[in-house]
Structure 1
Amino acid sequence: MSRLIIVSNRVAPISEGGPAAGGLAVGVYDALKETGGMWFGWSGDVLTSGQPQIALEERGPVTFATIGLLRRDYDQYYRGFSNATLWPAFHYRADLVQYDRHEYEGYSRVNAWLAQQLVPLLREDDVIWVHDYHLIPFAQALRAAGVKNRIGFFLHIPFPASQVLLAVPPHRELVQALCAFDLLGFQTRPDLRAFCDYIVNEAGGTTAMQPDGLTRIEAFGQTLCAGDYPIGVYPDEIAELARAGERGKPVRTLKATLHGRKVIMSVDRLDYSKGLVERFRAFERLLDHAPAQRNKVSFVQIAPPTRADLHAYQDIRLRLEAESGRINGRYAELDWTPIWYIHRQYERAVLAALFRASNVGYVTPLRDGMNLVAKEYVSAQNPEDPGVLVLSRFAGAAQELSGALIVNPLDIDGMADALSAALSMPLAERLARYQDMMAQLRENNVSVWRDRFMRDLGQVSVRQGVSLPPLERAQG
């Protein structure tokens, strides 16, 4: 039986009920627990000297294989090309793209080195699933080392339109590297269309829709397939977490402090792609245009720190602190604070309970691959008295959650109007919207996401004449 080998930039230190992790970590670990196998990647350690060594840890059916990075590799591969070049470009922020040729060389070098570390751990029939923008050249490096296993790739962030991708100088090399995978997965159909547009109009390749729904791609002398696979959550598991935490101290404290006021809740990593400044200003516009809401509602923004050593992230933190202070200074009263801006991380169970206790989920990124917070917010709601989701049209989740109030995160007045509508929405409409979204979340949970991708990866290999056994299910 084949094992599943997950490869990602970071192997997250996930524990049951522990701190909330990003969409990649939660989705991947939930998937891997059911099949068993290995999760390989960076440990998070940055070494100043020596030769990094792989550490293996068995945790139930999952083996965690982690390795540290030397400081130069971290600076060039992670801080540099991955997060100063690819992240802003893929989130349509070409104005923030910083490119250094040496950092791209470091990015390519670290991918090749990581691939070399994985090769001795592989078995002949392993199925390899590589995740996200840090590891675009990974399959190319494995192929150069003689690895013939099935290799799939899933991009958790958006794939940009061709004219945006062209802002990255080695764009052609990156797309050529992606064509070394057997199957490419994107969060949404617009992302897939953007990739296919590049293949046809920039790479001179061809694309064709197949009867099975996959897109067959021929480019750079390679043949591969691609599809859209919106990542999900386990909505009933999140609902149970939320119920269990309803009487916990964080929720009791929130309710006691608010004295019956309504709550607008946001949870985001501190990142310029999340539209946080625009979100604060839309809440200010609500208070400005709807004076009746003053002292009746508070906005809670939880923004855990991320990539704190990058200047762009330091800047966004300073801007948010200034905006929250300015708005609170303008509207606060002795017994009411309009914005609670909290710069720390909470456990998943606490966040689920806070979602359940809030009246509005406020999820308005400028651009996002999926945004699982939107799905977690809906999942956590009280089915008898659910809150309302206000969601950016530029989050991948907007392709599925039609029961949300969809907004343009650049339209400050439009977002303020949506907040007003959410706060005053009657129960019957809230129930209808909630039930519609929960049905969608249950139909396309994280297991469905994984199973569709792995099924398609196996079929791609069959079409290429490779016969491999199915994935092994974890025992116990």
Structure 2
Amino acid sequence: MGRLIVVSNRIAPVEEGTAPQGGLAVAVLAALKEAGGVWLGWSGKLLDAPGGAPKLKRAGSLTYAMLDLAQADFDLYYNGHANSTLWPIFHYRIQLAHYSRAAEDGYRRVNAQFADALLPLLRPGDRIWVHDYQLIPLGRLLRDRGVTAPIGFFLHTPFPTPEVLRTLPTHEVLLQDLAAYDVVGLHTTRDRDALLAAWHRGWRETPDGRIEIGGRRIVVESFPISIETEEIAADAPAAWNMRSAHRLRDSLVGRDLIIGVDRLDYSKGLPRRFEAFRTLLERWPDRRGRVSFMQIAPPTRGEVADYQEIRHQLESLAGSINGEFADIDWVPLRYLNKSVPRKTLLGFYRSARVGLVTPMRDGMNLVAKEYVAAQDPEDPGVLVLSEFAGAAEELDAALIVNPFDVERVAEALERALTMPVEERRDRHASMMRVLRANDIGHWRRRFLAALEGAA
């Protein structure tokens, strides 16, 4: 078995003796430590001109390769085509997509820089694992440069249906890019079916279950990403006893807590979520003064106009709801537009009677899984989950809702708040069985086994 080469937009270098933050970093670092290898990604530095060869930092058998980018290229590649074109289309928000040839040229130019930076680092026997929508063209660019090593790609977003994908003027080129990989991994069977439908009649399934397209045989499969289930379940009781969690519960004064945790992004359905909470208070007046909703939404991509707009919309909604329903000793909606440390979040999850996860479209949504894993199995909270989150394909014991139906979401909140403990335990146990069977390690091993099979 050769080395593993991981390529992603950003890398997460971890200092010796500290723990990696986030499931992807945990999975990638575990794989790299097992096999040895290289993690290539943008350094986070922007220059006036392209930075040339990546800077290397070695840690045991692992090499971090950090690539500097030019500011102008980054704006076109990341803020432009990746996040103003692909992101909204992949999340079914085609009215928010802004396409330009210049931005796509910049996107492909930066992908070419990644390919050129990777070439000198490769050795015979290496396997390459490329991550996410920012780097879709990379596999074909490496093939064009003569790389014959097995190359896998994992998409961390949803994949749109053909009708939505066709709104991208160069969707046929993107489909050709994906066909250059040996393994294409997606979160759900729904995403896999959408990709195969987009390839239309250009493929056939082979007897070994692979897809033959363009004269190549590739694996196209759903690999639902997950979390460090046992670690979260083990850490949650201590997090529940942290000072921050005590402060939160003291402030509630015995009231039930509904919690939402999301990046500030239009795909997360936050305005409708706020409206669902308003509807709960309108239809069930006895909930007033007895339940609080805390939404944590750290800002992201603040330079993009669509993200500025949703921030203003949420601030206005929060003010309106609190203005209508607040009392002298009760603020119904707590809106935190800032990041909260991950361990602190575990204590908050365990303190919440309801986890409210209602994206309009999401590749997976690991908050849903973290909320479940952090619960006290003897007195667990209830997960209210959008049917359009990838996690709904696995966590079917949650209360599954259509986030476009505000009244139905409010009804699910009321049901969650009144659910008997026996039913809560049964639902929680069912979801924990899924999370233990498919944790982040299982996800990593499944994908790498498919990539090894391609070798």
Aligned-pair CA distance for 1:55: 2.1
Question: What TM-score results when the alignment is normalised by the length of structure 1?
Answer: 0.92
Aligned-pair CA distance for 1:52: 4.4
1:92-103 matches, within 5 Å, as 92-103=92-103
RMSD, matched Cα: 1.8
Give the distance between the partners of 2:132 and 2:55, measured in 1 at CA. Answer: 22
1:306-317 matches, within 5 Å, as 306-317=300-311
Match in the other structure for 1:205: 202
- 1:82 corresponds to which letter in structure 2? A
Match in the other structure for 2:183: 183
Aligned-pair CA distance for 1:70: 0.5
Match in the other structure for 2:284: 290
Aligned-pair CA distance for 1:357: 1.1
Asked if the contact 1:41–1:65 (Cα under 8 Å) also holds between the matched residues in 2, the reply is yes
Aligned-pair CA distance for 1:222: 3.5
Q: Which string of whole-angstrom CA distances, capped at 9 and with x for unpartnered residues, describes residues 136-174 of structure 1?
A: 110111111111111000111011000000000010001
Q: Which string of whole-angstrom CA distances, capped at 9 and with x for unpartnered residues, describes residues 311-368 of structure 1?
A: 1111111111111111111111111111111111122111111111111111000000
Kindly indicate whether residue 363 of structure 2 is the aligned counterpart of residue 366 of structure 1.
Answer: no
* Structure 1: stretches of 5+ with no match in the other structure: 462-476
Asked if the contact 1:245–1:251 (Cα under 8 Å) also holds between the matched residues in 2, the reply is yes
Give the distance between the partners of 2:258 and 2:357, measured in 1 at CA. Answer: 10
Q: Which string of whole-angstrom CA distances, capped at 9 and with x for unpartnered residues, describes residues 350-405 of structure 1?
A: 11111111111110000001111111110111111111000000000000001100
> Using a 3 Å threshold, how does the CA distance of structure 1 residues 6 and 269 change in structure 2: closer, same or farther?
same
Q: Which string of whole-angstrom CA distances, capped at 9 and with x for unpartnered residues, describes residues 223-250 of structure 1?
A: 3221111111121101122122121111
Give the distance between the partners of 2:31 and 2:257, measured in 1 at CA. Answer: 33
Asked if the contact 2:279–2:406 (Cα under 8 Å) also holds between the matched residues in 1, the reply is yes
Q: Residue 452 of structure 2 is aligned with which of 452, 458, 462? A: 458
Give the distance between the partners of 1:267 and 1:343, measured in 2 at CA. Answer: 10
Give the distance between the partners of 2:54 and 2:373, measured in 1 at CA. Answer: 38
> Using a 3 Å threshold, how does the CA distance of structure 1 residues 194 and 299 change in structure 2: closer, same or farther?
same
Asked if the contact 1:153–1:181 (Cα under 8 Å) also holds between the matched residues in 2, the reply is yes
Q: Which string of whole-angstrom CA distances, capped at 9 and with x for unpartnered residues, describes residues 281-319 of structure 1?
A: 000100010111111111111111111111111111111
Q: Residue 248 of structure 1 is aligned with which of 242, 245, 249? A: 242
- 2:213 corresponds to which letter in structure 1? E
Give the distance between the partners of 1:288 and 1:33, measured in 2 at CA. Answer: 54
> Using a 3 Å threshold, how does the CA distance of structure 1 residues 58 and 354 change in structure 2: closer, same or farther?
farther
> Using a 3 Å threshold, how does the CA distance of structure 1 residues 3 and 18 change in structure 2: closer, same or farther?
closer
Question: What TM-score results when the alignment is normalised by the length of structure 2?
Answer: 0.96
Asked if the contact 2:20–2:26 (Cα under 8 Å) also holds between the matched residues in 1, the reply is no
**Helix, strand or coil for the counterpart of 2:388?**
coil
1:224-243 matches, within 5 Å, as 224-243=218-237
Give the distance between the partners of 1:31 and 1:278, measured in 2 at CA. Answer: 39
**Helix, strand or coil for the counterpart of 1:381?**
coil
Give the distance between the partners of 1:363 and 1:58, measured in 2 at CA. Answer: 39
1:273-352 matches, within 5 Å, as 273-352=267-346
**Helix, strand or coil for the counterpart of 1:335?**
coil
Aligned-pair CA distance for 1:80: 0.5
Give the distance between the partners of 2:387 and 2:18, measured in 1 at CA. Answer: 30
Give the distance between the partners of 1:103 and 1:112, measured in 2 at CA. Answer: 14
Match in the other structure for 2:125: 125
> Using a 3 Å threshold, how does the CA distance of structure 1 residues 395 and 60 change in structure 2: closer, same or farther?
farther
> Using a 3 Å threshold, how does the CA distance of structure 1 residues 199 and 44 change in structure 2: closer, same or farther?
same
Give the distance between the partners of 1:265 and 1:31, measured in 2 at CA. Answer: 33
**Helix, strand or coil for the counterpart of 1:180?**
coil
**Helix, strand or coil for the counterpart of 1:109?**
helix
> Using a 3 Å threshold, how does the CA distance of structure 1 residues 61 and 71 change in structure 2: closer, same or farther?
same
Match in the other structure for 1:77: 77
Match in the other structure for 1:433: 427
Asked if the contact 1:31–1:446 (Cα under 8 Å) also holds between the matched residues in 2, the reply is no
Match in the other structure for 1:467: none
- 2:143 corresponds to which letter in structure 1? R
Asked if the contact 1:20–1:347 (Cα under 8 Å) also holds between the matched residues in 2, the reply is no
> Using a 3 Å threshold, how does the CA distance of structure 1 residues 195 and 413 change in structure 2: closer, same or farther?
same
> Using a 3 Å threshold, how does the CA distance of structure 1 residues 395 and 120 change in structure 2: closer, same or farther?
same
Give the distance between the partners of 1:318 and 1:24, measured in 2 at CA. Answer: 31
- 2:212 corresponds to which letter in structure 1? I
Asked if the contact 2:210–2:217 (Cα under 8 Å) also holds between the matched residues in 1, the reply is no
Asked if the contact 2:369–2:435 (Cα under 8 Å) also holds between the matched residues in 1, the reply is yes
- 2:183 corresponds to which letter in structure 1? L
1:162-181 matches, within 5 Å, as 162-181=162-181
- With a CA cutoff of 8 Å and minimum separation of 6, indicate the structure with the bigger relative contact order: 1
- 2:97 corresponds to which letter in structure 1? V
> Using a 3 Å threshold, how does the CA distance of structure 1 residues 328 and 43 change in structure 2: closer, same or farther?
same
**Helix, strand or coil for the counterpart of 1:370?**
coil
- Percent identical across equivalent pairs? 49
Match in the other structure for 2:9: 9
Give the distance between the partners of 1:408 and 1:317, measured in 2 at CA. Answer: 23
Q: Which string of whole-angstrom CA distances, capped at 9 and with x for unpartnered residues, describes residues 418-462 of structure 1?
A: 00011111110000000000010010111111111111122233x
**Helix, strand or coil for the counterpart of 2:219?**
strand
Give the distance between the partners of 1:18 and 1:360, measured in 2 at CA. Answer: 29
Number of residue equivalences: 454
Kindly indicate whether residue 376 of structure 2 is the aligned counterpart of residue 391 of structure 1.
Answer: no
Give the distance between the partners of 2:40 and 2:287, measured in 1 at CA. Answer: 50
Aligned-pair CA distance for 1:20: 5.7
Match in the other structure for 2:405: 411
**Helix, strand or coil for the counterpart of 2:221?**
strand
